Chains A and B, each alone.
Chain A
Amino acid sequence: MSATSPSILQALSPSDTEDVAQRRALLAEIDASCRGTLMLFFGTALVWLMIGTVFALITSWKMHSPDFLADIPWLTFGRVRPAHLNAVVFGFASEAAIAVTLWLICRLCRAPLMHGWVVNIAGVFWNIGVAIGIGGILAGHGTAIEWLEIPGYATPLLFVSYALIAIWGIITFRFRREKHLYVSQWYLLAALFWFPWLYSAAQILLIMEPVRGVVQATVNWWFAHNVLGLWFTPIGIGAIYYFIPKVLGVPVYKYSLSVVGFWSLALFYNWNGMHHLVGGPLPAWLITVSIVASVMMTIPVVTVGLNHHFTMWGSFHKLKDSPVLRFMVFGGMSYTVTSLHGVLLALRSVSEVTHFTHSTIAHAHQGMYAFFTMVMFGAIYYIVPRIIQIEWPSARLIRIHFWASAIGIMLYIVPLTIGGTLQGVAMINPDVPFLDPNKYSVVTMTVPYLKVRSVSGFIVLVGHLAFATSFIWIVARWIKAARQHQPAPIVSNV
């Protein structure tokens, strides 16, 4: 029985999906329908990950050695830093997120991806948009609006590509054969809908027809915080909700917790952004509203954290055997920690110290890397062998990837959080000079922590190189297998 034979699908009626053989055939057909699209997105995401990592290392090195590459205008600190951010956020993370989302929607809806070529074209244009955008930033055309640095001439391309992808996800959902909606689907559909709203509103109000004065700052942080809260977070949580129970073969602990977690996130997260402007030139009510919403985030974070934790309860020994599970659980735990830390950082008394310091940078990496990126790595390790029906060539490379990424990012976050907080304590104490090469000063006290951060970056790079090697290796095998025209076996649905 061929995996791609359309006759199997035609013979299927939704009521017959109980039959195991037919179910497997359907899953194989879904995976085959996603194959080209997902490999395109994962492959280009990997390229952006590597580019973003190199930019990150240059940025980090420059912070303690300002003369490093100082005479090349397009590599000056203030351009490489946003180039790093946009490469990892819109290149790597968003492309991985899109691919994982499409696959989860197809699997959970029991519907193949129809006319995948449309998404492929959108993916190609998305990549062109990101490349033009990052080239523009390096050329000095960046907008100096955080998280929206990509110049206005590249963003319409990004928006149109994205809209096409989101529409395709929602069309697939409309053609679903499975009427039951799993918790992951709520999160994924919400993310597909939220992101284009955020992106188009921010583009129009900040780049095309900019609003006047500090309203720009409110739009900026409404957008920037929601990219995390309403785009990456729901996809990360949705993926964890799928993969942990899937790998363990157990149901999610409590349906009621899932419902509370989802709606409280939807309700509170989108109001958080103004906590980036505490003490700033804005009306107090605006900032207070965001601080309150940030504190309310405790509800979705704790409910989701408990739900995941008790799903794992009694199965923690399986972390030894399953790399996918290891990435997912690391990501899930980081989500809980980073979110609760975020609640603290939003408070006026804490923000007085930590605002304007490296502690915020550490926090951002805890969310984007320790949580979201680790979840995406786990998802890629699960999905790729199923869609191309080839096993990962080396378990050792996956182990190296996990441990280098996990140790590297912890070595990033912990010292920089401590260093950033001490920097803040020094900054609000007017007796400590801001800069004095011979005394304890705000600028010079950060340097040792910045050096540790550079070291952590190299450890993370080792992990990414292991990942890239695995990926190139498995793709090479896939191409070889395709050349030999061997009929691929059907992977069991575990």
Chain B
Amino acid sequence: MNYGPIIFLGVFLTIASSWIGLVLIPQVQFGRQQEVKIEETGEIYPTVRPGLAQQGMEIYKANGCIYCHSQQVRPEGYGADIARNWGQRRTVSRDYLHDNPVMLGTMRTGPDLSNIGVRQTSVLWHLQHLYNPQITSKGSIMPPFRFLFEKRKAGDKPSPDALALPKEFAPEPGSEIVPKPEARALVQYLLSLKANAPLPEAR
């Protein structure tokens, strides 16, 4: 093997093969997938996220939530995703049509979030959990996201935006914790995470 061009040719062909196989063919096979009408409900699925939830996705992305939370449910009989109530069905490619970036994730330091909007529907729960995970999930190793909240001097009566907190987590009297717009948007994004539409291909 003393002939440079042969090596270059081999090196070119090998990478071209996987580029065709793992990039080009998937794009041809499912890169132009479209929404479908769900027979049972007559709704179009998946829908584009509303603006605030879309902004929340940017917060999720900027703070690297993906490094501890996956967004994919493995099929029945493979892992315990469904038994753990992380979804009623496996997730399929169509679930992610409007996600950009697609944040499937490779780590479950925390639970899967494909259906967190189904499991936890309370805005208060999410805000408390983001402010300090120990409030709702004692023993969690998730970091607190207090920087998505601000501490304000409370007026005569608590502001309607103030976050209700259990005593041991509440700020000193006379001040209150108010979620910043980022926290509210992030919660809207989490509530929008629902991969439960009865798609025919996911049955």
Contacts and interface: CB of A to CB of B under 8 A. Distances in A.
B184 to A, nearest CB: 17
A276 B104 CA distance: 11
B101 A206 contact: yes
B70 interface: yes
Contacts of A444: 139
Interface in B85-131: 90-97, 99-111
B76 to A, nearest CB: 11
Contact of A67 (B26, B100, B144, B147): B144
A27 B29 CA distance: 54
Contact of B23 (A78, A222, A446): A222
B2 A180 contact: yes
B79 interface: yes
A141 B79 CA distance: 34
Interface in B1-38: 1-4, 7-8, 10-12, 14-15, 17-19, 21-23, 26-27, 29-33
Interface stretch (B60-68, B152-160, B164-172): B60-68
Contacts of A355: 79, 106
Interface string A253-291: 000000100010011001101101101111100100110
B21 A289 contact: yes
A189 B170 CA distance: 61
A63 B107 contact: no
Interface stretch (A213-221, A367-375, A411-419): A213-221
Contact of B26 (A72, A276, A286, A434): A286
B102 A82 contact: no
B70 to A, nearest CB: 6
Contact of A76 (B7, B110, B145): B145
A135 interface: no
A436 B93 contact: no
A303 to B, nearest CB: 15
Nearest to A353: B79
A146 B66 CA distance: 9
A437 B139 contact: yes
Contacts, number: 225
Nearest to A221: B22
**Residue among B92, B96, B133, B143 with the most chain A CB within 10 A?**
B143
Size bin of chain A's contact surface: 35 or more
Contacts of A428: 79-80
A457 B4 CA distance: 43
A427 to B, nearest CB: 7
Interface of B: 1-4, 7-8, 10-12, 14-15, 17-19, 21-23, 26-27, 29-33, 60-68, 70, 72, 74-75, 78-80, 83-84, 90-97, 99-111, 133, 137-147
Interface of A: 62-64, 66-67, 70-73, 76-79, 81-82, 140-146, 173, 179-181, 186, 189-190, 193-194, 197-198, 201, 205-206, 210-219, 222, 226, 230, 259, 263, 266-267, 270-271, 273-274, 276-277, 279-283, 286, 289-290, 348, 352, 355-358, 360-361, 427-430, 434-437, 441-444, 446-447, 450
Given A73-B147, A141-B62, 20 more contacts: A63-B141, A66-B140, A66-B142, A70-B143, A70-B144, A77-B143, A78-B67, A82-B64, A140-B62, A181-B1, A193-B11, A194-B11, A212-B33, A217-B104, A283-B29, A283-B30, A283-B93, A289-B22, A355-B106, A442-B108
